Chain A
Amino acid sequence: MKKRQFGRFGVQKNWTIPYAVFLLVFVITPLILIAIYAFTDADGQFSLANFQKFIHHGETVNTFVYSIGIALITTLVCLIVGYPVAWILSQNIFSSTSVIVMLFILPMWINTLIRTLATVALFDFLQLPLGEGALIFGLVYNFLPFMIYPIYNVLNKTDHSLTEAAQDLGACPLKVFTRVTLPLSMPGVTSGILMVFMPTVSTFAIAELLTLNNIKLLGTTVQENINNGMWNYGAAISLVMLLLIGVSSLFTDDKSGEEGGLL
């Protein structure tokens, strides 16, 4: 009996092998390759030249700072727009909340590029100029669901008796929100911020299409360098970007990951 159970356990362990292989080939190896490329020159010798170039190359540093700025603004707008939406949805004011949540998530079924091209067409049709404003609009439009969903999830799971308890203890609706609802929804908020901030820092297609290639983001720079055969420099910038995303994800604690329910 015991032996059979052990055997079964062994089988279950084997099931993970394909995934381990997949991760090794498509995640770990590329990451190591990026690191190797970043720390070598065109001849394959170890060097820090790529990073020195990055620091001294004023234009790239500007793009770097600008990308972070754009990502921050996008995240902020998503938060300001997304939180009230998530809150309203969680109150079950509408008779079929799930349908409305669905409507917000539905655009994600369509490819980002197609949606962005449609946004360009929309701006053309309305005769609005493409540029920074259009870029932020496009980013918010693309990433808003990633903000709404984790917040909605947390708010929806929050025990309704807690808000009742707050009212019972003398809190007016505004105080209930600031003292109880908002603090309790913070895991969802941090999760949402990460889900929006991380991809916007590295985006490039949306920037290209919505600014007619006038505004460069860090993602664009990486793409250009790699397209032009400058693999080592491109890898170095990617590594810096990865580091930034890695650091930003440290701002959340372990709990938000499970409670926030990343999509």
Chain B
Amino acid sequence: MTILGPSGCGKTTLLRLIAGFLPATSGQIFIGGKEITGIPPYKRPVNTVFQKYALFPHLNVYDNIAFGLKLKKLPRKEIDRKVARVLKMVSMTDYEYRSVDSLSGGQQQRVAIARAIVNEPEVLLLDEPLSALDLKMRQDMQMELKELHKNLKITFLYVTHDQEEALTLSDTVVVMSEGVIQQTGTPMDVYNEPANSFVADFIGASNILNAEMIEDELVRFANHDFKCVDKGFGEHTPVDVVLRPEDIVVFENPSNGMLCGKIQSVVFKGVHYELTVLTEDGYELLVHDYNCFNVGATVGLAVKPFDIHVMKKERVCNTFEGKLIDASHVEFLGHEFECKEVEGIEAGERVKVEVDFGDVELLDNEGMIEGEVKYILYKCDRYHLTVLTDWDENIYVDTQDVWDDGDKVGISIMPEHIRVIHL
């Protein structure tokens, strides 16, 4: 099982809670049906492989691995036998008496794994164990971990920010963002049926577009109607559509496709070519194809109904709680905004405020309020940004301008774009 998420999403915190290094402020933790919430880490049936290995520098390989067994006061012979067995498992036999400082990163990693599994935990926690290794080594270790998992038959709880690693290694993937589980499922489910635009964007390359569900099995995006297999969203409902680049078919003859576009760039990726295609209506799509096309060529694009994945939108506009100051001023996000004349609501009353994503303006210099760009989602013809305001509330913005993660921005909203709604 893998916990997957971008850095800072709380996945390591979750692992540390399970290992017992952090006290849980609320909730309970169970392992194999037994509650372990209040139990100190040294009594929990789990062992951890740390991100930076955390091998004891004053002990050699043998003593590092035997550390836990010696604490359990096992007879010397049994310790010898067990250490030899795990060293063989991680193919490090004959390294017993080497000092850990003399080992390479990959070897230290193997020792760290051996040290954890020798104690036969019920759950093995792995905190981004391969992040310090180079690509080739990482791929080898992934295979070895899979093999180990098969042989040991214990639960591996693996934390990573590498989506490919997560898909390769796990039976179950848990996608996390900002401390919240976004989706839990098999690698196939998570890839093919992402629960929301965050999951779709984070796992694998994808084209995410704003779309409208016209009726069951008919969806409109990129100015065209497409047949799809999803239903039950209701008529004329705004939705998000995910198209995987490998599911888009390219035709040399533009009239053969449903969409028509010009190739902007071609990048050779080994097995396939990565094409960027700009459609007539200004939508930029990422396409993977085995054939090479010329930049500038006009091509047709098509998608099979089954390959169009429709997702419910988490929100269709910004919604804030606020207070009406007077007939033409409303307070929300810690600021007093001017708005259109409001009728039928008393000054001082609590109200709901709505602002469309596209009506929020971002400025380089000071705006009415300030914020920081937290997350950027490219929607083929616009960027959908999540901006954390200084008021500690998110505001969602659609923009054509390019911003970077972490940019400090000023935010302003014109009076005519603020909708004040009676609660």
B41: chain A residues within 8 A (beta carbon): 164, 167-168
A168: chain B residues within 8 A (beta carbon): 19, 41-42, 46-48, 116
Given known contacts A164-B50, A165-B50, A170 and B68 CB-to-CB distance under 8 angstroms: yes
Q: Is A32 an interface residue (CB 8 A)?
A: no
A169 touches B119 (CB 8 A): yes
B51: chain A residues within 8 A (beta carbon): 161
Given known contacts A164-B41, A175-B71, A179-B67, A169 and B54 CB-to-CB distance under 8 angstroms: no
Q: Is A172 an interface residue (CB 8 A)?
A: yes
Which residues in chain B, 55-81, are within 8 Å of chain A measured between CB atoms? 55-58, 67-68, 71-72
Given known contacts A161-B50, A164-B21, A164-B50, A171 and B71 CB-to-CB distance under 8 angstroms: yes
**Min distance, Cβ B78 to any Cβ of chain A, angstroms:** 16
**Min distance, Cβ A164 to any Cβ of chain B, angstroms:** 5
Q: Is A162 an interface residue (CB 8 A)?
A: yes
The residue of chain A having its C-beta at the shortest distance from the C-beta of B44 within the complex is A168
Cα–Cα, bound, A161→B49 (Å)? 11
Q: Which of B42, B47, B58, B71 contacts A184 (CB 8 A)?
A: B58
Given known contacts A161-B50, A183-B58, A166 and B40 CB-to-CB distance under 8 angstroms: no
Given known contacts A171-B71, A172-B42, A175-B71, A165 and B54 CB-to-CB distance under 8 angstroms: yes
Cα–Cα, bound, A165→B57 (Å)? 12
A169 touches B50 (CB 8 A): no
B19 touches A170 (CB 8 A): no
A169: chain B residues within 8 A (beta carbon): 42, 47, 67-68, 71, 115-116, 119
Cα–Cα, bound, A169→B48 (Å)? 8
**Min distance, Cβ B103 to any Cβ of chain A, angstroms:** 16
B20: chain A residues within 8 A (beta carbon): 167
Given known contacts A170-B42, A171-B42, A164 and B71 CB-to-CB distance under 8 angstroms: no
Q: Is B52 an interface residue (CB 8 A)?
A: yes
Given known contacts A167-B42, A168-B48, A169-B115, A161 and B54 CB-to-CB distance under 8 angstroms: yes
Cα–Cα, bound, A165→B116 (Å)? 9
B54: chain A residues within 8 A (beta carbon): 159, 161-162, 164-165
**Min distance, Cβ B112 to any Cβ of chain A, angstroms:** 9
Q: Report the count of interface residues on B (CB-CB < 8 A).
A: 25
Query: Per-position contact with A for B27-52: 1 when CB-CB < 8 Å, else 0?
Result: 00000000000001111001110111
Cα–Cα, bound, A29→B389 (Å)? 69
**Min distance, Cβ A69 to any Cβ of chain B, angstroms:** 32
Q: Is A180 an interface residue (CB 8 A)?
A: yes
A172: chain B residues within 8 A (beta carbon): 40, 42
Cα–Cα, bound, A166→B67 (Å)? 8
**Min distance, Cβ A185 to any Cβ of chain B, angstroms:** 10
**Min distance, Cβ B96 to any Cβ of chain A, angstroms:** 18
Cα–Cα, bound, A170→B48 (Å)? 11
A159: chain B residues within 8 A (beta carbon): 52, 54
The residue of chain A having its C-beta at the shortest distance from the C-beta of B51 within the complex is A161
A179: chain B residues within 8 A (beta carbon): 67, 71
The residue of chain B having its C-beta at the shortest distance from the C-beta of A163 within the complex is B54
**Min distance, Cβ A113 to any Cβ of chain B, angstroms:** 41
A175: chain B residues within 8 A (beta carbon): 71
Which residues in chain B, 379-406, are within 8 Å of chain A measured between CB atoms? none
Residue ranges of A at the interface with B (Cβ–Cβ < 8 Å): 159, 161-162, 164-172, 175, 179-180, 183-184
> Can you report 7 A-B residue pairs in the complex whose CB atoms are below 8 A from each other?
A161-B52, A167-B20, A167-B40, A167-B42, A168-B41, A171-B71, A172-B42
Given A170-B42, A171-B71, 7 more contacts at CB 8 Å?
A164-B41, A165-B48, A168-B42, A168-B116, A169-B71, A169-B116, A179-B71
Give the 6 A-B residue pairs with the shortest CB-CB distance, closest first: A169-B68, A161-B54, A165-B54, A167-B41, A168-B48, A183-B58
